[in-house]
A and B are shown apart, each in its own frame.
Chain A
Amino acid sequence: AQTVTQSQPEMSVQEAETVTLSCTYDTSESNYYLFWYKQPPSRQMILVIRQEAYKQQNATENRFSVNFQKAAKSFSLKISDSQLGDTAMYFCAFMNAGTASKLTFGTGTRLQVTL
């Protein structure tokens, strides 16, 4: 079974600064997908960024980028130019490739962006 670990329960960053959220995972699969989801107080789960395991190039989405280290089974999220609206819970998630199977989530990191 896959496991996803987020070792930072809470993080704080000042507005306009950069912050990196950590995620590691454990799997015996070779083909899979990784995701970062954001959950603001509205509780809506919002997809931030995704990465296919077979792609070596790190995914980027505007201010969000990942550092995907497949051998180390690491998938960190970097948020540049942090904004107050980035304040939320961030969940790292894993999914086996092939069919639309279930997501396995990490325990989450609560990010607070301050003035």
Chain B
Amino acid sequence: SAVISQKPSRDICQRGTSLTIQCQVDSQVTMMFWYRQQPGQSLTLIATANQGSEATYESGFVIDKFPISRPNLTFSTLTVSNMSPEDSSIYLCSVGRISNSNYGYTFGSGTRLTVV
């Protein structure tokens, strides 16, 4: 399965600022996914990042707040813009694989964001 390097692992940010989270995959993948996990909650998909096209956002998430880049098949960034304390969460990137009997999703180690 793919190996994902995600950074930063954690950060404490001032409200009103922005943070960019990076994910690097050790193999080429078509789609990358960005999830948010609010404190004590499950994972919610923010958007799907496709190489060479605009990201597809889920209901409740907008590009101005969570701009995503996908410059190539192994890399993606998620920016959390104009942060407020409500943005304090764990953010995770993920890649999926569907190939015969080898299927599943691999996750990055997550970025714990605290907004003060």
Q: Interface on A for B, CB 8 Å cutoff?
A: 33, 35, 42-45, 47, 50, 52, 91, 95, 97-103, 105-108
Contact = CB atoms under 8 A, between A and B. Distances in A.
B51 to A, nearest CB: 13
A35 B109 contact: no
A33 B42 contact: no
B104 A106 contact: no
Contacts, number: 54
B48 interface: yes
Contact of A47 (B33, B37, B58, B104): B104
Contact of A107 (B30, B31, B42, B106): B42
Interface residues of B, number: 26
8 contacts: A45-B107, A47-B105, A50-B103, A99-B98, A100-B31, A103-B45, A105-B44, A107-B42
Which 3 A-B pairs have CB atoms at the shortest separation, nearest pair first? A100-B96, A45-B107, A43-B110
Given A44-B109, A50-B104, A102 B42 contact: no
A105 B105 contact: no
Interface of B: 30-31, 33, 37, 41-45, 48, 58, 90, 92, 94-98, 103-107, 109-110, 112
- Most central of B33, B42, B98 by chain A CB within 10 Å: B42
A43 B105 contact: no
Contact of A43 (B31, B33, B112): B112
B104 A35 contact: yes
Given A35-B104, A43-B112, A100 B90 contact: no
A99 B110 CA distance: 24
B97 A100 contact: yes
A106 B41 CA distance: 10
Contacts of A95: 96, 105
Given A98-B98, A103-B43, 4 more contacts: A45-B43, A45-B94, A95-B96, A103-B94
Nearest to B43: A105
Contacts of B96: 95, 100-101, 103
- Most central of A35, A43, A44, A105 by chain B CB within 10 Å: A43
